[in-house]
Every structure is written in C-alpha cells, then in structure tokens.
C-alpha cells in the first residue's frame, strides 16, 4: 500500500520518484550494469557479456510483489533481485549469466544503489534550497525596514524588522547549502568490498575493477569499503535534520505571526487553502504545519541513523536494516517541507499596519530600554533602570502611554527633552543593526550562489 493520501502534502513528487520501489530497484540494477562494464573494461569478463546484462538492468522488467515476498525470506532486496536478474539474462544468453554480480556482495549493490539515489536527492534539495534562498533574500530586502515587535519568551520585547527575521532563516539556509557541498565528496562514494570487504574473490583484478566501477558510476572511490562504517550516511542524515529544523523554525514563526491575535504575516491565500470543515472564517497555516511536522519527525529518524552506527564486525544484523527506510523517509520529509516553504515565502502577505498597531499595544513599553539607555548616559545605569522601571509600572497601573508618564516625570524631564523622548519612543529609530544583518545575509547568499 502506498502513501498516496499524504504524499502530496508531506513529500515532493520528484523525491518520491527517487525513493519509490522502482527507484530503489533501478539503483541496484545500475550498479550491476556498471559492474559488468567495469569488469569487461579490465578484461575480467568477455565484452560480449555486457550487452545482455545491461538489457536486463531495467527496473520495469521485474515483478515487485514477487520481489517483496522473496525479500521477507532472503533478508535483503539484492539477493532476490540478483537471482531474478540472472534468470532473465540466462533466458537469452546463458554465457552472460555467469558474469552477473561477479565479486560483489548484496550490500555492495544496495549501498551503491542508495548512493546513486542520494545523489539525485541532493540535486533536488540543493535546487530547492537555492530557490528558497533567492526568495528569502528578496523578501528580507523588501522588508529590511518593516518594524514589528521582537518577541522573547513569547512576550513583546524590543522592535526588530521582518527583514531581519527572514535574514536569519536565509543565513541558516546558506549554511545548509555549504554543508551539502562539503559532505558530497564523502557521501557520494562507491561501496564495493565483496563478501567481507577484502574483494578477495577478484584477486589481482580487484583494484582495477573498483577504479573502473567508480568511474562508471561517477562516484568517488573511498579508501576502503564502508559496509559497517556508516558515518557518511549519518552525516547526511544530520544535515537533513538541520534543514528540517530550520524550516520548522520558519514554520513556527509564520504560524505564530498568523495567529488571530497577531495577524502580521500570512501564507499566501489560495482557493480552498487552510479552511475548516466546520468554521467558514478559518484561515489555517497549512504550509507551516508541514514545516513543523517535518521538524518534529526528523529528529527521531536522525536518532535512528545514529543508533544504527555500532554495527557488528563486517556485516550488520538488524542495524543496517534499520537504515533502509529511515534515510529515504528523511529525504522525503525535507523535500515536502521545502515545497511548502517555496509556496509560502515568495507570496508572503504582510500587514505592516497591524505590525505598527501591535507595537503600540503596550503603549510605549517596548521602547523602555531605549529610554533607559539614553538616561543611563546622564545619571548612571542603576539609577536610570530603577527610574524607568518605576515609570513603566506607573504607566501600566494608570493605563497610560509611557510617553505621557515620562513627560510628566520631573527627573526624566530634567535630563531628556520632549523631542528626545519622541525620538526614543519611535520604533523606527530603535532598529539597531537590523538592516546590516539583512545586507550581510544577502551578501553571503549572493557570494555562495556565484
């Protein structure tokens, strides 16, 4: 049974195509075809054996229900697939069948096939991250000076800008793109060690075959087989977890900004999007839900990959098996989150007037720090902090605007003029380095994208 009901929501179709049954089988068959070409190239098998083997290495030729049933007995997917491959080749060329899978082991086919899938998956992820980074950069620049309340512990703090918030996400995305570039040489490498990793079955031809096979598959040739050294895959899983977490942060903030009580930023509207089965007025953050959902599920999957690292000796029992669906599921989750982010970010609906109104909810209290710091330069930090704290408390008790309380306070008025107070209590004048943070994040993105 497939996951058709939820796939459209949680997974990008292109990623599901990579990690569907056909994608898995084709990855192993690509390994088998490349192995035949490599062994023929070094003279280990007859050149005429290659074409019959290649012709049978097409995933659509195989009976998937039969393979699935055989896997339950065999313990992995390569054993029944190689048998089926051999039978298909033998039906047309019995001589060529002798050279199928020569010198390899099941895990060679499965791991190398997986790496081929991961290469395609990374291409999709990198493309989507680049597109998302462009959208974030554009929005960050557009809203570099759009003030809204900063929030700490879910309470209003001092003003920030929407551009600054989006630049924070952009910076994380750029770092994830850098991480993917850095890990690819380690991850995208051949698995080829034979029964116990020594390639003894191929004798003196082992190394030439390995070099030729890596070249055929366009994979790096590692220092040795990595059947039970899984750090490469776990590193990638960790980066996927980081990407999911950063997208979850975006989704969390967006959903909070969409709350009725805030109403500052919204996912783009679309017919039928975010409605309720019973409440006609609802506009739910359905895209943000995917980002948060992926970020919630990813840590457990990453933990499974870490838990599967201490594999026994030269071939693992059960721990290797735990990886088979875990890493593909991580790829699919991240792909779905990226799709939702790509729908949300370019079309963000921003209510700047509501942001300004929300900044005024506390009647100037969010800018108390600005007044306190200015006053500290004249009467000292402790005295200034204590005085402004008293004024804030008075403003809350009286339901008055902080500006009125400060203006009526003799100690404050003796140090700060009316014009100075007006300036200090204007959010647009207390945005600090917000614009610089945007410029730096965009510059880093631009530099990386060149």
- Residue 218, classed as helix, strand or coil, is coil
**CB-based contacts of 384: which residues, under 8 Å, 6+ apart?**
372, 373, 375, 376, 378
| Catalytic residue list contains 2 | no
CA distances (Å), 321 to each of 83, 234, 315, 326, in order? 20, 14, 11, 9
Q: Would you say 402 and 391 are in contact if contact means Cβ atoms under 8 Å apart?
A: yes
Q: How far is CA 311 from the centre of its chain?
A: 27
| Catalytic residue list contains 276 | yes
The token duo for 21 is 């049954």
**CB-based contacts of 427: which residues, under 8 Å, 6+ apart?**
147, 159, 356, 359, 366, 367
- Burial of residue 322 (CB within 10 Å: 0-12, 13-18, 19+) is middle
Which uninterrupted H or E stretch holds 438?
helix 434-449
The values of phi and psi at residue 155, to 5°, are -110, 150
In our burial notation (b when 16+ CB lie closer than 10 A, e otherwise), range 161-183 reads bbbbbbbbbbbbbbbbbebbeeb
The values of phi and psi at residue 156, to 5°, are -60, 135
The token duo for 92 is 């047309």
Instruction: Outline where 148-222 has alpha helix (H).
Output: 162-187, 206-217
The span from the first CA to the last CA of the chain, in angstroms, equals 44
The values of phi and psi at residue 110, to 5°, are -70, -45
CA distance 51 to 46: 10
The values of phi and psi at residue 2, to 5°, are -90, 175
Find residue 159's DSSP bridge partners: 149
Going by C-alpha positions, the residue among 28, 22, 37 that lies closest to residue 57 is 28
CA distance 28 to 117: 10
The token duo for 229 is 């050294």
Catalytic residue among 92, 196, 276, 449: 276
Catalytic residue among 119, 151, 175, 315: 315
The token duo for 449 is 């994208």
Give the active site residues.
276, 315
């Amino acid at each position: 049974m497939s996951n058709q009901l939820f796939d459209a929501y949680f997974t990008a179709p292109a990623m599901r195509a990579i990690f569907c049954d056909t994608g898995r089988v084709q990855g192993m068959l690509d390994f088998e075809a490349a192995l035949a070409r490599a062994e023929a190239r070094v003279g280990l098998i007859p050149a005429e054996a290659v074409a019959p083997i290649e012709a049978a290495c097409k995933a659509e030729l195989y009976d998937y229900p039969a393979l699935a049933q055989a896997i339950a007995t065999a313990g992995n997917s390569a054993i029944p697939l190689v048998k089926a491959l051999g039978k298909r080749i033998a039906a047309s060329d019995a001589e060529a069948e002798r050279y199928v899978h020569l010198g390899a082991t099941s895990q060679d086919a499965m791991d190398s096939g997986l790496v081929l899938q991961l290469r395609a998956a990374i291409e999709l992820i990198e493309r989507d991250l680049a597109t998302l980074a462009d959208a974030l950069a554009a929005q960050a620049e557009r809203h570099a000076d759009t003030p809204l309340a900063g929030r700490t512990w879910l309470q209003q703090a001092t003003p920030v800008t929407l551009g600054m918030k989006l630049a924070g996400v952009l910076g994380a995305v750029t770092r994830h793109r850098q991480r993917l570039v850095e890990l690819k040489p380690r991850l995208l490498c051949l698995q080829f060690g034979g029964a116990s990793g020594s390639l003894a079955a191929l004798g003196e031809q082992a190394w030439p075959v390995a070099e030729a096979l890596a070249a055929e598959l366009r994979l790096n040739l590692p220092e040795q087989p990595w059947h039970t050294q899984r750090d490469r895959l776990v590193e990638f899983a960790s980066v996927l977890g980081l990407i999911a977490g950063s997208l979850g942060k975006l989704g969390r903030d967006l959903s909070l900004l969409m709350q009725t009580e805030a109403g500052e930023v919204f996912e783009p509207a679309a017919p039928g999007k975010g409605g309720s089965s019973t409440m006609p007025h609802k506009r739910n953050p359905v895209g943000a839900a995917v980002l948060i959902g992926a970020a919630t599920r990813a840590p457990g999957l990453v933990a499974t990959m870490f838990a599967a690292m201490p594999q026994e000796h030269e071939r693992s029992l059960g721990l290797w098996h735990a990886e088979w669906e875990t890493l593909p599921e991580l790829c699919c989750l991240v792909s779905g989150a990226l799709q939702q982010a790509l729908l949300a970010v370019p079309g963000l609906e921003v209510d700047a007037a509501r942001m300004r109104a929300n900044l005024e909810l506390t009647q100037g209290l969010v800018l108390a720090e600005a007044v306190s710091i200015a006053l500290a330069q004249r009467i000292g930090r402790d005295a200034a902090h204590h005085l402004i704290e008293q004024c804030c408390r008075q403003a809350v008790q009286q339901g008055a605007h902080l500006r009125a309380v400060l203006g009526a306070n003799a100690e404050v008025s003796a140090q700060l003029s009316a014009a100075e107070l007006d300036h200090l209590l204007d959010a647009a004048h207390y945005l600090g380095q917000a614009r610089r943070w945007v410029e730096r994040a965009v510059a880093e993105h631009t530099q990386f994208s060149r």
